[in-house]
Amino acid sequence: MPFPSLLAVFAHPDDESLSAGGVLAQHAASGARTAVVTATWGADTHRAGELADALRILGAGKPRLLGYADARVPESAVGRPRLCDAPLDDVVRELVAHIREFRPEVLVTHDAYGGLTGHPDHIHTHRVTALAVQAANWPHLYPDAGAPWQPRALYLATHPDSAADALGGRLLRPGRASYSVPDEWIAAVIDVRPWIETKLRAVAAHRSEVVRGALPGRLAALPFGERVRLLSTEWYVRHGAASPAPPRSAL
């Protein structure tokens, strides 16, 4: 069965590579259409350039930037509101336009906790994406944003409790709270080892995050085998699933 077309929606440049880089590379290698919408940072910033390099490595096309400011970095989009402060209807409309234009079969985004870190931009991006996936198929909502389209699934990048216990201490700064979900919620467990070198190169393309010692930098300082161990599995919850089912090995 061919892999479905895939649209990833994440808050910041580097989230796509860290959270779903393996799945994006997997789908692109199969010949499926892939793309990434990034909610924050302006197109004229250094991080947009790094994002373009990462997406080229992943085979995910050119950046699609909503251009809002990072909650913690006002200069990320000068003259624009923070993502969390922008009118919700405006942000949803913009994302609906991308969904209707790209017409993906599957979307991925942050989970409702905002992943392990609970970053407010991650949480808000989750909310916006869940609303936009529903709104995209309603013809009288945002009629100027393109013809209606209904993706068949929305998956939420996450960590199960069992993995968070093992990985959180290496992926988070000391003393930070960690957010994860019950193991039985996991709908897909993806072994991305065949694409791990691609994923790691995409993470490393976010050079400014490497230099300042953010997660890409902390990963870069680790031995290759440890980086592989930390990033070779991706876990997803299926949004709106009525009840838990045995985890799949693909989206």
The tens digit of pLDDT for each residue in 182-212 reads 999 999 999 999 999 999 999 999 999 999 9
Say if 246 falls within a structural domain: no
Higher pLDDT, 37 or 170: 37
Say if 113 falls within a structural domain: yes
- pLDDT for 166 equals 75
Q: What is the pLDDT of residues 109-132, one digit of tens each?
A: 999 999 999 999 999 999 999 999
Say if 165 falls within a structural domain: yes
Percent share of the chain, pLDDT over 90: 89
- pLDDT for 182 equals 95
Say if 1 falls within a structural domain: no
**pLDDT (average), residues 33-48:** 98
Say if 204 falls within a structural domain: yes
Say if 112 falls within a structural domain: yes
Say if 186 falls within a structural domain: yes
Residues 115 and 18: their CA atoms lie apart, in Å, by 11
Rounded to two decimals, the pTM is: 0.96
- pLDDT for 242 equals 67
Residues 237 and 251: their CA atoms lie apart, in Å, by 10
Percent share of the chain, pLDDT over 70: 98
Residues 6+ apart with CB under 8 A from 64: 35, 36, 37, 38, 98
| Exposed / middle / buried, residue 139 (Cβ in 10 Å: 0-12, 13-18, 19+) | exposed
| Exposed / middle / buried, residue 212 (Cβ in 10 Å: 0-12, 13-18, 19+) | exposed
Domain with 152, as residue range(s), is: 6-238
Q: Are 102 and 33 in contact (CB under 8 A)?
A: yes
Mean pLDDT of the chain: 95
- pLDDT for 234 equals 98
- pLDDT for 110 equals 98
pLDDT above 70 (res 80): yes
CATH, residue 103: 3.40.50.10320
Confidence of residue 168 (pLDDT cuts 50, 70, 90): low
pLDDT above 80 (res 236): yes
How many domains, the chain? 1
Q: Helix, strand, coil: what percent of the chain each, to 5?
A: 45, 20, 35
